[in-house]
Structure 1
Amino acid sequence: MLPDLTDLLSDAHVVALPMRVRFRGITTREALVLRGPQGWTEFSPFVEYADTEAAAWLRATIDFGWTEHVPAAQSVPVNATVPAVAPGAVEGLLARYPGCTTAKVKVAEPGTTVEDDVARVAEVRRVMGADAAVRIDANGLWSLDEAVVALERLAPFDLQYAEQPCRTVDELAELRRRIAGLGVRIAADESVRKASDPLAVARAGAADVLVVKAQPLGGVTAARRVIADAGLPCVVSSALDTSVGLGMGAFLAAAAMTPGYAAGLGTAAMFLGDVTSDPVLPTNGRIGVRRVDVSPTLLARFAASPERTAWWRARAERVHALLAADVTA
């Protein structure tokens, strides 16, 4: 069901949330949160995404706000997230994720070296101990040859998997062949999230694990179909959502994620503010599966500028028009 544009934006708010440290190249995360018949929902495609790519995100907004989703569990385990920081900052960052026994570590940050990545991962392993699960995420920034060298250096830290080490599906498939003896599994994120065919990775044998995100895949309902069809272990992760969007991800993780993995949904700990007075933060390594109510006070405190608010509303209008044209085609 596609709601009328007036209904969609009747109670919509654009926020700009400051982040504790730079992550994914940004220090402020903008998002549009709005209320549907089932509760608060979120539209937050990254600003550089074209309207055609943002269309899936608006489908997710509508799916969560206009569809009843019954929680399949009360809580789900989540990982800690370690940005590309110096080793000395690692212990303090991990302290924001109480009880988490899995960490995802950013690597391949522009301006850093493999030696920097090794030092960061080594410190995470030291702080969390030998029994913790440690993942790395390169966001597709290594070439094939760079990925081989980096994973040879990082494999001794007993990685759970390496997320999107290279950009293309063909590169991921070749990388799996080249590092077959290292014992490092490959996870695909951007190759699923940004693809017109999210199952192409599985069919090409390019990954051992799929990382899925609710908004880019069109919402909880659509993402559950992708996970069911993939035939691979799946981890549900955040797209730097507010707590409203993290609630959407938690419903998906509870319903469809592979047992034994931690979801990447503890990212509210990376923000200095949120849209709710009860943010989705890890407790004993888990987050609750629940819909989030926003705080009018916090919506006002973190309101985006009038110019940015107008930009987001215009973007939502354009993307809504794309969905309306698709429905009537």
Structure 2
Amino acid sequence: MPPLDLPPLDEVLAGAHVVQLPLRTRFRGIDVREALLVEGPRGWTEFSPFVEYGPDEAAAWLAAAVEFGWGPELVARTSRVAVNATLPAVGPDAVAGVLARFPGCRTVKVKVAERGQELADDVARVAAAREHVGPEGRVRVDANGGWTVDQAEEALRALAPFGLEYAEQPCATVPELAELRRRTAGLGVPVAADESVRKAADPLAVARAGAADVLVVKAQPLGGVRAALAITAAAGLPVVVSSALDTSVGLSMGAHLAAALPELHHDCGLGTAALLAADVTRDPLVPVDGAIDVRRVDVDVDLLRQHAVADDRREWWLGRVRTSWAVLEAR
């Protein structure tokens, strides 16, 4: 991770706002998304590791928040970034309604391997997504590491006829991804790595092992824009910039990462503000004509108050900042 100058901790804690935003559709097992927002000299920034993450993992998210709010100005090569639509694990009858919230998006990422569902549910959802975008659109699937190698091979053989752009994190481990790539080499379905990059002690291990064709990178989990750029440069693989169900502030960080890359051949997973039923700004970074703007977000203080968590929950989040801060200071 590039060197990081930390501002005074008291300054961060004093200005922190913690919100709880409802989702339009249950996504990855949650109905609300919590996030901590704070304004630094560069503008508003976000710290929103998922609640189950411990201090070591959350510290990378805090480093990203500090960099975006207090770090050097970021250079953008473009003013807009094309994004994909994100389709939760809904039934096929609900697909068109969800995708209508992503106007102009030519790519759909479909959640698969949902706990409690069967392969037939995935096939029906992917089929509906393919029908929605037509033959010229792109369909990718994301299993979040939910399949074994055998299950992933069976699933990809069933889903390959729908012309998948790639399968994201079909299995949990790097050796499993490598084995799956070997087994499905003739299917024409590239393998993308997400968790094997952002949750790994060595984010480059998946590239060195030849276990993926594409890397999915996210600014917050990787420690910020500069850290993510260093990883992508070292990996030497095509990149998709994605988000972790961020507010528009976190999505702005991702958009700046995407805009800083020298090459970007895939639509990015940065349109997920469309999945939120509320946000922290009156001008959210939702897709327009299939893309989002690369810009800082003006946070509305009234919305911060409206969606503020209870005092005990705010203290819990401030405690996360303190423990993650201690990790950063020790590095």
Q: Runs of 4+ in structure 1 displaced over 3 angstroms? A: none
Spell out the pairing of 1:98-113 with structure 2 (5 A cutoff). Answer: 98-113=103-118
The answer for the alignment partner of 1:34 in structure 2 is: 38
8 A contact 2:85–2:269 mirrored in 1? yes
1:13 maps onto 2:13 in alignment: no
- 1:6-54 Cα offsets, whole Å, 9 max, x none, are 1222311000000011111100000001011100000000000011111
Deviations 1:102-156 (A, max 9, x none): 0000000000000000000000000110000100000000011000000000000
Q: 1:160 aligns with which of 162, 165, 171?
A: 165
1:25 equivalenced with 2:51 (yes/no): no
After TM superposition, the structure 1 = structure 2 runs for residues 1-329 of structure 1, keeping only pairs within 5 Å, are: 1-67=5-71, 68-256=73-261, 258-326=263-331
Q: Is the 8 A contact 2:258 2:264 kept in 1?
A: no
**Whole-Å separation in 2 of the counterparts to 1:98 and 1:176:** 33
The amino acid that maps onto 1:289 is V
CA distance in 1, matches of 2:123, 2:327: 45
**In structure 2, how many angstroms separate the alpha carbons of the residues matched to 1:287 and 1:293?**
15
Work out whether residues 71 and 290 of structure 1, in 8 Å CA contact, stay in contact via their aligned partners in 2: no
Gaps of 5+ in 1: none
Aligned-partner residue type, residue 169 of structure 1: V
- Partner amino acid, structure 2, of 1:148: E
Aligned residue identity for 1:101? R
Tell me, in whole angstroms, the C-alpha distance in 1 between the residues paired with 2:17 and 2:142.
Answer: 31
* Distance across 1 between alignment mates of 2:92 and 2:281: 31
Separation of aligned partners in 2, 1:228 and 1:247: 21
Write the distance in 1 (CA, Å) between the matches of 2:296 and 2:308: 21
TM-score, length-scaled by structure 1: 0.98
- Give, in angstroms, the shift of residue 70 of structure 1: 2.7
Q: Which runs of 5+ in 2 are unaligned?
A: none
SS in 1 for 2:35: strand
Aligned length in residues: 326
Which amino acid in 2 is paired with 1:118?
V
Structure-2 separation of matches of 1:257 and 1:305: 43
- Aligned amino acid, residue 209 of structure 1: V
Contact 2:238 2:265 (8 Å CA) reproduced: no
- Residue 259 of structure 1, CA deviation: 2.7
**Which letter maps to 2:155?**
A
Backbone CA RMSD of aligned residues? 0.8
Shift of 1:157: 0.3
In 1: Cα distance, 2:133 partner to 2:262 partner: 24
Letter in 2 for 1:18: P
- 1:290-311 deviation line (CA, Å, top 9, x unaligned): 0111001100111111121110
Per-residue CA shift, 1:158-186, capped at 9, x if unaligned? 00000000000000000000001111000
Instruction: Tell me by how many angstroms 1:322 deviates.
Output: 1.6
Percent identity, aligned pairs only, is: 63
Which whole-Å CA distance do the structure 1 matches of 2:75 and 2:153 have between them?
Answer: 43
Contact conserved, 2:74 with 2:260, CA < 8 A, in 1?
Answer: no
Q: Is the partner of 1:9 in helix, strand or coil? A: helix
Q: Is the 8 A contact 2:157 2:187 kept in 1?
A: yes
* Cα 1:257–1:136 shift into 2, 3 Å: farther
Query: For 1:261-308, what per-residue CA distance to the aligned partner results, in whole angstroms no more than 9, with x for missing partners?
Result: 100000000000000011001000000000111001100111111121
The answer on whether the counterparts of 1:247 and 1:290 sit within 8 Å (CA) in structure 2 is: yes
TM-score, scaled to structure 2: 0.97
How far the C-alpha of 1:71 sits from its partner, in A, is 2.3
User: Residue 281 of structure 1 contacts residue 287 of structure 1 at CA under 8 Å; is this kept in 2?
Assistant: yes
SS at match of 1:14: strand
What do the CA deviations read for 1:184-238 (whole angstroms, capped 9, x no partner)?
A: 0000000001001100000000000000000000000110101111110000001
Q: Which stretch of the first structure deviates more once superposed, 238-247 or 70-79?
A: 70-79
Amino acid of the structure 1 residue aligned with 2:83: V
Deviation (angstroms), 1:257: 6.7
